[in-house]
Structure 1
Amino acid sequence: MSPVSNSREPSPGGVGTKRKRVTDDPDEPTELTYSDDDYVPYVPVRERRAEKLQKIASAYRRPVERSPSPDSPGEQGSSARPNVPLIDQAVELKKLEKPKDEIQKELELEKEILAAQTAKKALVSNKELALDVHYTDTLKTSWRPPAHIRNAPPSDHDKIRQSFHIDIEGDNVPPPIKSFKEMRYPEPILKYLREKGITKPTPIQVQGLPVVLSGRDMIGIAFTGSGKTLVFTLPLVMLALEAEIKLPLIGGEGPVGMILCPSRELARQTYEVARAMASALAAGGFPELRVLLCMGGISMQEQMDVLRKGPHIVVATPGRLQDMLEKKKFNLDICRYLCLDEADRMVDMGFEDDVRNIMSFFKSQRQTLLFSATMPKKIQNFAKSALIKPCVVNVGRAGAASLDVIQEVEYVKQEAKVVYLLECLQKTPPPVLIFAENKNDVDDIHEYLLLKGIDAVAIHGGKDQAEREYAITAYKTGKADVLVATDVASKGLDFSEIKHVINYDMPKEIEDYVHRIGRTGRSGKTGVATTFINKSCPEPILLDLKYLLREAKQAVPPCLEAIPDVNERFKVLGKDVDGDGLDSECTFCGGLGHRITSCPKLEAQKKQTQAQFRSMHAGSGAGEY
């Protein structure tokens, strides 16, 4: 093959070129020629895209601004700088942003913490999660408000709610009703209420009872002693009565509804209320309703007759109820009513998985109710995962102390507290309730009072059920003047005649303080609460106490006033973690003296989780390599 020679000569115009190639193939052209007419100048990608957009826009008759070329004059300050790396452009854009101050950063951090705490598995059964079961409509009941209440304009209902300081959330909330008679209860129930001295409903009952009777899911929040137990117990009794009249229960059937309580004492108290209502109906000529108490520490042999005939209502603690369901002592095939009393406490005590497991025994949709005096936003958001179109009924701020309690806070040295108890007992006549944080202190106080000749009883988690029930009975019947207890007696127990509550020590959480002092000043009566504080009390809980006293318009001692106000800087900004108004309390525990970023309860929970993680993985590294 002959050598190939390439030559390139400038065209006369200085632009075109001519390229010659020598080849042996006669069929192949020996010369490729490009003239000036064939030359197409290079168009940058940016301009080609702009031209394409211009054509598209002209077709729709909409003008489009052509992207400026980097070489065109007057574009030195243009934001489009293709020759600048993207990282450098991002840095320049961040410089133009308005810098966030420390408060805004902390508020964003609070929002992230709250989202992380509420991002839990929904409070529904594992079966419903696996099958992706979603209920969209609320349960229907046969109850209806009277016609004159149904037909009243919404403005009238709002006036009633405002007069009782009732806040509601939800769609199509049933109207409030101001009398039990208009709620259409049978005469035996009205007679029972009159005998108990209950002549008119409390604010939580005015709105809560119509909501529950209508079959709606509900979150009920009201201060201690406001009558929440009646709101979820009375509608359940009426539901069971209706079911028994339509088709009597036989062995192997039931219950119709169920109430879960976090403690045995609270379960016993709720059981007595439900059984008293059932007895009142039976005395009035209605069918007999069977109530089953299901909790640890008692023999179920005493209730075998109820189990054999089939219970209408079950009042239980989570552990024993779970055991009974797994042993198939009874089933939840026709159960359509579930109430969690002190719901926030039940979640905090670790019963969340137990409750979810109990829900897996339901065969159909149920009406779910959650009640508590202290229900922070974290618990409310989590609770809504188990509810269908819920109504939130709130009387006062969640976690607020009862205004019927006179709160007195006194600085007492640690070594002088036991002796000072005798002086505090002189403030009011008996009965008096003394709270202590741990079991040893309860035993020491109990022994000291007995040595001083004071009729006292004591309860705590270390005592067996017989001792605990004897102490409660002796205290309620007046055989004992003083009850010494841990926080096991602070949740929901109704001691209507207590004159004075003494906090031997400040609890670790402000929620427990609210529940403790709520044992007095119940049902409209006035009570006194005395709390001992000293240098051993953590500052965050003292700050919470300080703000709680201010909120209730109580006297704040100088030792609490001296603690600096940490929330002032947030009040200046005036925004909360949701951006719709300032949260005055910690969204995790409800404390007024701190934010969620410094919540002692959240910190304790983290430490507990870390300790459990370390114990689970102790020694796991041995022999793995």
Structure 2
Amino acid sequence: MAPAPAPALTADPASSSSEAPTYKRRRVVEEEEEPMYKYDDEDEDEYEQKRYVPLKQRKAAELQKIARLRAGGVGAAAGSASPQEGAQSPKRRAQDDEEEGEEAGSSVVKRSTQTLLKEARELREKEAKEQKSEAQKQREEEAKILEAHAARRKLASDLELAKGINYSEPLKTSWTAPRFVRQRTEEENTILREKNHIISEGVDIPPLIDNFRDMKIPRCLIDVYLKNKGIKKPTPIQMQGLPTAFSGRDMIGIAFTGSGKTLAFSLPIVLFSLEEERRLAYTRGEGPLGMIVCPSRELARQTYEGIKAMAEVLAQNGYPTIGVLLCIGGISMAEQSHVMGKGFHIVVATPGRLQDMLEKKKFNLDVCKYLCLDEADRMIDMGFEDDVRNIMSFFKQQRQTLLFSATMPKKIQDFAEQSLIRPVVINVGRAGAANLDVIQEVEYVKQEAKMVYLLEVLQKTSPPVIVFSDNKNEVDDIQEYLLLKGVEAVAIHGSKTQDEREYAIKSFKDGKKDVMVASGVASKGLDFNEIQHVINYSMPNLEDYVHQIGRTGRSGKTGLATTFVNMNTQEQTLLDLKYLLMEAKQRIPPFLAAIDDPRAAAGGNALQGCAVCGGLGHSVKDCPKLEENQRRQRAGMSGADGGGY
């Protein structure tokens, strides 16, 4: 059966009315949709604002605006718009004109009081202030180096540091200056100090006294001991140093070699011991009252012999007996046991043996009130600092501390001032300056010709003569060569036994030997009689040079110092030597005069000096002493040649 056909969609008009509903087709009129964005003039202005404008056009527009403002202010600016601005809407142009008018008004006011030339000058001045010169940069760099190396603890005992003990007042003593000295005004004291070339710094500085009798020193010491030494009046360091020490004040004493520093610190400790013994005699196991620490054995023995001689003179004139103990390496302390057995007042020691005796409790520092560090910069400055700090940990009470040296740079002075109690700094001449009584000669000698030329130089003066070398093997070679040539010579250096060192010193002092060949152990503080000539076979660093040439020209006498230099000598050391000769007004050889200072070319102060070692020919960042100290620290070394136990 076939399917029925589908109904037609359209019907005949006649039959559609009766059979099915009719459908009318309507024309659909599409409504206009509202646009998503409406544009008006404001939108156009906003678009213009946000539209990217190339940099070149922006600069051109700014230049035109500036030109219009200069030409005639707001009116001219409104009349000459750029093509780009002309394309903007009237509303936008009105806003721009209003803003330009305000800017124009403020600019006109500003330019009426300040010109472009003035602005440019102010900018240049500002840049000049902000920009640092090379000298300023160098000073800042040096300050940072010093700050890094100065960051260390105070020189005090561990007990004081642990408990935070700080003493504010110096020790009191029974000594007072005579009334007429105390009644002097500060202006009169200042005139006296200037007359004797003494620079004193501190609070309540004791007055200067220019003769021994007014210092209330026992007459027997003046008439016997000092007279035998040929000392008739105090030297500048003694004029100010002795009253300061007698007053119980902490002190830093700086003076050139041969100026009498040893007497300035040894005489007070003798008189303090004398007063203490008079009050109550020391018995077995008591003492010491005071202590002097030296960097080398020879210097300690020399100081000990001087104090022992003063004690003997006092004992011979009816004063109480003073016990003096020598505590140095290389000798048996059994020899000193009788001194410790009776009780003693003064110890003269080197750091190594002193530490050993204190740790073994051979004696203690329970009643010790006086401490002197001779050649203090040598011990405080990196080498013996830990040793000295360990020694100070044995103190049980406040003490009077004195530091003495011929070369004490500013860095060491600052560190020492922090460790002392209201210290008095006494300076006779510049720290590290050479003795002006020494005639300095510098000669260029090739290394292979030194030994032969030495014989010729020895004939400049009569004996005794000291020859210094910084190499122990070279010291022995020079002595052997001089003995072969018939010259009576002895040698001393740190590797020799204590008996050999003492024999060399004694035979040379007694005049049995004409020449002593020595390393640095004989350069610090040793006082030899009538040394005519010092020869530096090899040029040392500047500090050692000052100490070595200071073995002659002592106590106001004139001496001669000859130094050999050659290509092996560092240029920096030669520059230091050049400035030292200039300062002392000595003859400068042509090869030294030809050396230029790079700091002078950079605009630095060539004569400012190094704060670490006092050398005038280099700055802190180039200091050889600082490099040596760093090398020593890395190697784990401490101490100096021949100075310890």
TM-score by length of 1: 0.81
Deviations 1:251-287 (A, max 9, x none): 1110110000000000000000000000010011000
Structure 1 residue 126 and structure 2 residue 158: aligned?
yes
Deviations 1:550-606 (A, max 9, x none): 000000000100100334357x677xxxxxxx9721001100111112112112223
Structure 1 residue 520 and structure 2 residue 552: aligned?
yes
Alpha-carbon distance, 1:541 to partner: 0.5
2:627 aligned partner, one-letter code = E
Residue 448 of structure 2, aligned match among 399, 402, 415: 415
1:169 corresponds to which residue? 201
Q: Structure 1 residues 583 and 136, CA, compared in 2 at 3 Å: closer, same or farther?
A: farther
Alpha-carbon distance, 1:244 to partner: 0.2
CA distance in 1, matches of 2:466, 2:127: 62
CA distance in 2, matches of 1:318, 1:222: 23
Q: Structure 1 residues 96 and 503, CA, compared in 2 at 3 Å: closer, same or farther?
A: closer
Percent identity between matched residues is: 63
Residue 171 of structure 2, aligned match among 134, 139, 160: 139
CA distance in 1, matches of 2:527, 2:364: 30
CA distance in 2, matches of 1:372, 1:502: 22
SS, match of residue 217 in structure 2: coil
CA distance in 2, matches of 1:280, 1:569: 60
What is the 5 A alignment of 1:440-459? 440-459=473-492
CA distance in 2, matches of 1:325, 1:288: 24
Residue 479 of structure 1, aligned match among 512, 518, 528: 512
2:357 corresponds to which residue? 324
CA distance in 2, matches of 1:565, 1:143: 51
Residue 112 of structure 1, aligned match among 130, 138, 144: 144
**Farther off after superposition, 113-122 or 261-270:** 113-122
Say whether the 8 Å CA contact 1:499–1:528 is kept in structure 2. yes
2:243 corresponds to which residue? 210
CA distance in 2, matches of 1:510, 1:117: 20
Residue 628 of structure 2, aligned match among 584, 596, 604: 604
CA distance in 2, matches of 1:177, 1:164: 11
SS, match of residue 404 in structure 2: strand
SS, match of residue 130 in structure 2: coil
Residue 460 of structure 1, aligned match among 493, 507, 514: 493
Alpha-carbon distance, 1:337 to partner: 0.1
What is the 5 A alignment of 1:134-533? 134-191=166-223, 192-348=225-381, 350-507=383-540, 509-533=541-565
Q: Structure 1 residues 411 and 573, CA, compared in 2 at 3 Å: closer, same or farther?
A: closer
Deviations 1:393-420 (A, max 9, x none): 0000000000000000000000000000
CA distance in 2, matches of 1:282, 1:193: 16
1:589 aligned partner, one-letter code = C
Residue 591 of structure 1, aligned match among 615, 619, 625: 615
Size of the aligned set, in residue pairs, is 520
SS, match of residue 206 in structure 2: coil
Alpha-carbon distance, 1:95 to partner: 7.2
SS, match of residue 459 in structure 2: coil
2:133 corresponds to which residue? 101
Deviations 1:94-136 (A, max 9, x none): 9796211211111111111112222211111111111111000
1:359 aligned partner, one-letter code = M
SS, match of residue 371 in structure 1: strand
CA distance in 1, matches of 2:217, 2:461: 39
1:130 aligned partner, one-letter code = A
Say whether the 8 Å CA contact 1:368–1:386 is kept in structure 2. no
Deviations 1:330-371 (A, max 9, x none): 111111000000001113462111111111111100000000
**Farther off after superposition, 183-192 or 523-532:** 183-192
1:6 corresponds to which residue? none
2:183 aligned partner, one-letter code = N
Instruction: Answer 1 or 2: which has greater helix percent.
Output: 2
Structure 1 residue 548 and structure 2 residue 572: aligned?
no
CA distance in 1, matches of 2:320, 2:327: 23
CA distance in 2, matches of 1:169, 1:184: 24
Deviations 1:4-38 (A, max 9, x none): xxxxxxxxxxxxxxxxxxxxxxxxxxxxxxxxxxx
SS, match of residue 368 in structure 1: strand
TM-score by length of 2: 0.78
CA distance in 2, matches of 1:76, 1:339: 75
2:629 aligned partner, one-letter code = Q
Alpha-carbon distance, 1:499 to partner: 0.2
Say whether the 8 Å CA contact 2:509–2:529 is kept in structure 1. no
Q: Structure 1 residues 597 and 316, CA, compared in 2 at 3 Å: closer, same or farther?
A: same
Q: Structure 1 residues 305 and 413, CA, compared in 2 at 3 Å: closer, same or farther?
A: same
Alpha-carbon distance, 1:607 to partner: 3.2
SS, match of residue 340 in structure 1: strand
CA distance in 2, matches of 1:345, 1:96: 43
Say whether the 8 Å CA contact 2:610–2:623 is kept in structure 1. yes
Q: Structure 1 residues 608 and 358, CA, compared in 2 at 3 Å: closer, same or farther?
A: closer
SS, match of residue 213 in structure 2: coil
What is the 5 A alignment of 1:574-589? 584-589=608-613
1:34 corresponds to which residue? none
**Farther off after superposition, 407-416 or 189-198:** 189-198
1:154 aligned partner, one-letter code = E
